[in-house]
Homo-oligomer: A and B are copies of this chain.
């Protein structure tokens, strides 16, 4: 098998041991004679998978009992629609625009209700001081994206929103570090970065927020109905949930998010330290907001871009091209990317610099 390191921003690399387990169980899960894909979502086998997956997720993020965990579809992009439907409740909402994804979330909400932009940092290089945000005390919620996948910007704290619930898109750094869930009203995350395959979206909702959906919200998009039906208003993405469960077990074996955070700090430091050691490569993000998961960088001489990506691919370093909206390069180094992968990237960058 070809040795590669996959720096895709998502869908992204998964732990090899998780894929091997899925391979072993593909035709026969735990002696049931069935693939997980073939199981009725209401059968005892799948219900046991769902229950363990949720329990392990709760353990990993220490989710308080007054929060529901939903396993939905459509990714964070569909959730951008669900959030105003489920929470606006005839009020206005605050949106912080700190990168491409929060910008898109705000745009989606604006089509469905009234929002106020409390900060907008375009072009995106940092999270501004929270004291400068124009927060509204009566907002239905404050929406933030705590890690901007495209721009490589990660929050280094949380604004004090008082009684206004914070709704956070954590798609690209969930489970990469500890989080105090109780500080949030809603956390949501597409699975295809740190959780599992695309097609699954986790939504963690504080129970008291389940009662303010627009009466027009269809059941399939209604968090309360999904919560009451154990995410089975529609047939859930059963195989994606199973894969997420395997990833959660792997994370627990690694020592949970406290241990994985240390690995992530080491990986990110290796790459950023190298970038900062040369002027051949540039990262434009404020140091305190540099994402541990998504590292965008530019070659000082962009005429070398194609040679850089072609050489990288030949060396088995895949998906390093930056997002089409910003250009340059981007290395996504999620939980499942080993330190050796980051070292291989740094070695390649150094060799490329020396020869160009």
Contacts and interface: CB of A to CB of B under 8 A. Distances in A.
Interface string A26-64: 111001111101111101000000000000000000000
Interface in A232-289: 233-240, 243
A85 to B, nearest CB: 10
Interface stretch (A93-101, A204-212, A215-223): A215-223
A9 interface: yes
A198 B237 contact: yes
Category for how many chain A residues contact B: 35 or more
Please give the count of copies of this chain that the complex contains.
2
B37 A243 contact: yes
Interface in A58-94: 73-78, 80-81
B38 A14 contact: yes
A199 B26 contact: no
A151 interface: no
A239 B196 CA distance: 11
A317 B6 CA distance: 42
A197 B40 contact: no
A190 interface: yes
B28 A1 contact: yes
Given A37-B197, A73-B73, A239-B240, 5 more contacts: A19-B35, A43-B318, A81-B220, A111-B218, A199-B200
7 contacts: A1-B28, A9-B40, A11-B40, A73-B78, A75-B235, A77-B220, A199-B239
